[in-house]
Amino acid sequence: MARKKARVKPKPEEISEISPDTERETEPNKENPTGKSSKKKAPTLTSTLSARSKASCGLSNKLKEKIVDIDADYICVNELAVVEYVEDMYKFYKSAENEGWVHNYIDSQPEINEKMRAILIDWLVQLHRKFELSSETFYLTVNIPD
């Protein structure tokens, strides 16, 4: 009688599954208070590949270094708040206005008359106030049709 050889099964290798879902925490849906989502969230190929590349490079386990905000002490966002330079800035604006001035523009543009320009400037002022733009943006915008 012939003996059968016992087959030796190879040990399965340990495989660690890398999924982009392990790095992100899911936020509850603000619109749906029950927390159940109507759509199934499937991981994208890009997020899976980036998660795998981070894991293979060892970047996912590294602690992020704290970035120092050098502007944290400066609460002011107004560029004209520097009192020492305001007068010089307005002198520069006035000189630049004289250099870039378009002379006799109403006569050179037959499509735009005084009344149409007034309507256009009123509309630009409304937009300027609505979007809270800077003064320089308004001046440049007015200079375009002129």
Q: Which residue carries 């002379």 as its tokens?
A: 103
Q: What pLDDT, in 10s, does the model give residues 49-99?
A: 677 666 665 555 555 667 777 666 665 566 656 777 778 888 888 888 777
The pLDDT mean for the chain works out to 71
Cα separation, 60 vs 52, in Å, equals 9
Question: Which one has a higher pLDDT value, 92 or 2?
Answer: 92
Q: Which of 97, 144, 96, 136 is nearest to 120 (CA)?
A: 144
Report the length, in residues, of the chain.
Answer: 146
Q: Is residue 124 helix, strand or coil?
A: helix
- How many angstroms from the chain centroid is the CA of residue 5? 67
Cα separation, 120 vs 1, in Å, equals 106
Q: Is residue 27 helix, strand or coil?
A: coil
In degrees, rounded to 5, the angle at the alpha carbon of residue 67 between the alpha carbons of residues 65 and 71 is 170
